[in-house]
Amino acid sequence: MQPSAKVNQRIARISAHLCPFNLQTDETSILRRENCRTKGGSSGFKVAILGAAGGIGQPLAMLMKMNPLVSVLHLYDVVNSPGVTADISHMDTSAVVRGFLGQQQLGSALTGMDLVIIPAGVPRKPGMTRDDLFNINAGIVKTLCEGIAKCCPHAIVNLISNPVNSTVPIAAEVFKKAGTYDPKRLLGVTMLDVVRANTVVAEVLGIDPREVDVPVIGGHAGITILPLLSQVKPPSSFTPQEINYLTDRIQNGGTEVVEAKAGAGSATLSMAYSAAKFADACLRGLKGDAGIVECAFVASEVIELPFFASKVRLGRTGVEEIYPLGPLNEYERMGLEKAKKELAASIAKGISFIRK
């Protein structure tokens, strides 16, 4: 290769991640797209974030760029993704970053991905319930999942878009219609509930939150969020007053943030942290690491409902084992019965959105 050609190729590699589909070159040019792939610094997995320019998407993109298991990071949104891509791409970590803008580039953003993370949608505002978000976010999730079914049907899907209790059933119905549904590969991200539970329990116990593990079952909204304080690690006992306080804080953590931000948004930073933590667990499972156990909202037979959040073991195929709930005390059994009613309605609403 001539020196000038080498220079052109190196320049192309540097710039290709910023506008990979807008290079105006002819078929014989050294800058053809197949020659413009930025060199990855390490082997790893290909990850796409759909909704990467949003309040959750931007910090999540930064955290995934920092993950050594990620070799290629695709950032998709309907607005502002080129700017976020340019910004994130300057971080000196090994993952290659590429940006994709608008629905016409959704297929390119998804092709070849191992893990797709979906924080896309509108945030909750003061006075809004997660159910208020349904009509907008349901349509967004439907469109994105249709793209996944077409372009990367075997990818693990981490669904964050609220209301998760309804959007996961929506995604499942979309994949069923397309003939690509694999319940092991569709996971609703409820990690934020676990993160909050670990934090507030650690406050009461006076220990490091990283030493605490609180199973959180049910769903991802209000009373459907049920922390199993009887199963906390390290083993701990709580007074009835402490149980009421802790359960309320965990169930209403999202509302606490929405009200504190006073119209400026919802839980974006803690959600991004939680999503990145859960995505890392999925990637370690894909890599073949053993003993990766987290809580997630998945297709389940743990109880009579078709979807439920509980502890699952992650592996190369996604969800490889769903654990039973274990012994519940009377307070938790009562909480579970309350959660079931609301959860059943939310699941049915998601399913009917696609089947209607």
Q: Where are the domains positioned within the chain?
A: 41-189, 190-355
| Fold classified for 41-189 | Rossmann fold (3.40.50)
Please give the single-letter amino acid code of residue 282. Answer: C
CB-side neighbour CA atoms (13 Å) of 69? 18
**pLDDT (0 to 100) of residue 40:** 45
What gap in Å lies between CA 107 and CA 117, rounded to an integer?
15
Query: For residues 102 and 86, what is the distance between their CA atoms, to the nearest angstrom?
Result: 16
Please tell me whether 313 is known to bind a ligand.
Answer: no
CATH topology for the 190-355 domain: L-2-Hydroxyisocaproate Dehydrogenase; Chain A, domain 2 (3.90.110)
CA–CA–CA angle 343, 157, 106 (5° rounding) = 120
Task: Output the CA angle 184-276-214, nearest 5 degrees.
Answer: 75
Confirm whether residue 196 is marked as ligand binding: yes
Give every residue of the chain whose pLDDT is below 50, as ranges. Answer: 21-41
Exposure of 311 in the CB half-sphere (CA atoms within 13 A): 13
Question: 271 labelled as ligand-binding?
Answer: yes
Helix %, strand %, coil % for the chain, to 5? 50, 15, 35
Residue 32 token pair: 């053809």
Helices 253-261/240-251 angle, 10° precision: 60
Is residue 213 classed as helix, strand or coil in its secondary structure?
A: strand
Residue 140's pLDDT is 96
Residue 220 phi, psi (nearest 5)? -135, 50
Q: Is 220 a catalytic residue?
A: yes
pLDDT, tens digit (0-9, with 9 covering 90-100), for 277-298 = 999 999 999 999 999 999 999 9
Q: Which helix (H) or strand (E) is 91 found in, with range?
A: none
Q: Which of 17, 90, 154, 220 is catalytic?
A: 220
| pLDDT at res. 31 | 34
Is 77 labelled as part of a ligand binding site?
A: yes
Tokens of 93: 């970590």
> What tens digit of pLDDT does each residue of 265-276 get?
889 999 999 999
**What pLDDT score was predicted for residue 26?**
36
Rounded Cα distance between 302 and 287, Å, is: 27
**How do strand 156-159 and strand 115-118 relate by DSSP bridges?**
parallel
- Give the Cα separation of 205 and 199 in Å (integer): 10
Q: Annotation-wise, does 51 bind a ligand?
A: yes
Any known ligand binding at 207? no
Check the annotation: does 219 bind a ligand.
no
Distance CA 268, CA 60 (A): 9
Q: How far apart are CA 60 and CA 278, in angstroms?
A: 11
For residues 219 and 232, give the distance between their C-alpha atoms in angstroms, rounded to a whole number.
Answer: 18
pLDDT number for residue 150: 98
**Binding residue per annotation — 162?**
yes
